[in-house]
Amino acid sequence: MPTYPGALASRLPDVGTTIFAVMSRLAAEHGALNLSQGFPDFSAPPALCELVARHMRAGANQYAPMAGAAPLREAIAAKAEAVHGARYDPEHEVTVTAGGTQAIFTAITALVHPGDEVIILEPAYDSYAPAVELAGGRVVRLQLEPPGWRPPWPAVRAAIGPRTRLIVVNSPHNPTGSTWEAADLEALAGAVRGTDVAIVSDEVYEHIVYDGRRHLSLSGHPGLAARSFVVGSFGKTFHVTGWKVGYVLAPRELTAELRKVHQFVVFTVNTPIQLALAEWLADPGTWRDLPAFYQEKRDRFRAGLAATRLRPLPCAGTYFQLVSYDGLSDEPDRALAERLTRELGVASIPVSAFYREPPTGPAHRLLRFCFAKGADTLEQACARLARL
Ligand code: GLN
């Protein structure tokens, strides 16, 4: 192919390839155990796969309705009511998306005008800020501080001004594994009361919380639900990240704007998987057992880390474990993550990737490991890390 002859002004000049693709690729190149990108290394439930195949064979292979297959929207609304006591109208307030990242991108694009401000709490999943910037918005970054990573509510209140359009929040939190408490929801409700500020609530790890915790969804808080896009993901809940199916719950006015954009981003999401998920959701056991399932993995991984010089931080939710390498090395986290992949054969994600301007200092010498892996993989990874 000849080279492009024109000049190119990038819409995202500061953005390279997302760290998740970079580290997964490096892991593959070096045959490393891949605990970097967040995905399970075990199979999806065979009966769920069978349901998809059944719907395909039965001919459900053409476009689903733009907002999502009706049975799936109904099942999502029924689950939101059963779990969080939230009442969403499947017709006007539930939209099926091609995964959580598309849901977030679409919600941000639907609301943000050029010059609008969007508050993001760092460390943050790396798709939020580029979505704001592509819409012409300005990202206002506030910091969560280790080891508790609590939202800085006074700073949030101070950051809200006449240009603030959105706040993006995330609990259970990627990458820190922290979760919100009731007081956090009240603080957010207080901060936005009397404003036009809307909220994107990334809750894709909603079913992965530990030690008897209950996930506090913004959908279950009437004051917050009224102004929130609540984003969920079946990839995380049913071990099918490659299927790319998620959803957005939002009041009718917000959903109408969301769908205006959604229809031109993906138009609609694949039909047989939607119909299979609708049936799968009918059994609450499919998500109720998830905390115990992942808690066993978290505990196994943390126990294995005890034999290494890495120090695990608290992990209340998600399938991510942060570890501190303070005292072990003063390498930048990205250099260490790459070295561990090459030399020890264990891939992780450097936490600096979740910041625009990564903080430095001993408290920020952190790597993120994904423990959504089989017991053998976790044990092998810890054995390799013990050589550090
Ligand atoms: N959410 C996943 C993670 O944080 C990855 C998503 C992706 O690869 N884009 O690892």
What was the pLDDT predicted at 317?
98
Whole-angstrom Cα distance, residue 208 to residue 205?
Answer: 5
Cα 258 to its chain centre, rounded Å, is 19
For the chain, give the percent of residues with pLDDT over 90: 99
- The residue-averaged pLDDT of 275-295 equals 96
What was the pLDDT predicted at 56?
98
What was the pLDDT predicted at 12?
95
Whole-angstrom Cα distance, residue 341 to residue 385?
Answer: 10
Residue 39 CB: number of other CB atoms within 10 A? Answer: 18
- The residue-averaged pLDDT of 112-123 equals 98
pLDDT tens figures, 13-68 = 989 899 999 999 999 999 999 999 999 999 999 999 999 999 999 999 999 999 99
Give the residue whose CA is nearest to atom 2 of ligand 1: 38
Which residues neighbour 301 within 8 Å (Cβ) at sequence distance 6 or greater?
A: 321, 369, 371, 378, 381, 382
The reply to whether ligand 1 has any atom less than 6 angstroms from the CB of 38 is: yes
Give the residue whose CA is nearest to atom 4 of ligand 1: 38
Whether pTM exceeds 0.95: yes
What was the pLDDT predicted at 304?
98
Question: From the CA of 355, how far away is ligand 1's center (Å)?
Answer: 15
What was the pLDDT predicted at 372?
98
Question: From the CA of 1, how far away is ligand 1's center (Å)?
Answer: 32
What was the pLDDT predicted at 266?
97
What was the pLDDT predicted at 218?
98
Question: From the CA of 20, how far away is ligand 1's center (Å)?
Answer: 6
- Provide, for the chain, the percentages of residues in helix, strand and coil under a 3-state DSSP scheme, each rounded to the nearest 5: 45, 15, 40
Are 325 and 346 a contacting pair, CB within 8 Å?
no
Whole-angstrom Cα distance, residue 95 to residue 101?
Answer: 14
What was the pLDDT predicted at 58?
98
Whole-angstrom Cα distance, residue 154 to residue 142?
Answer: 11
Are 63 and 255 a contacting pair, CB within 8 Å?
no
Give the residue whose CA is nearest to atom 7 of ligand 1: 20
Question: From the CA of 127, how far away is ligand 1's center (Å)?
Answer: 9
What was the pLDDT predicted at 377?
97
Residue 184 CB: number of other CB atoms within 10 A? Answer: 17
Q: What mean pLDDT value characterizes the chain?
A: 97
What was the pLDDT predicted at 346?
98
pLDDT tens figures, 205-214 = 999 999 999 9
The reply to whether ligand 1 has any atom less than 6 angstroms from the CB of 20 is: yes
Hey, is 198 helix, strand or coil? Answer: strand
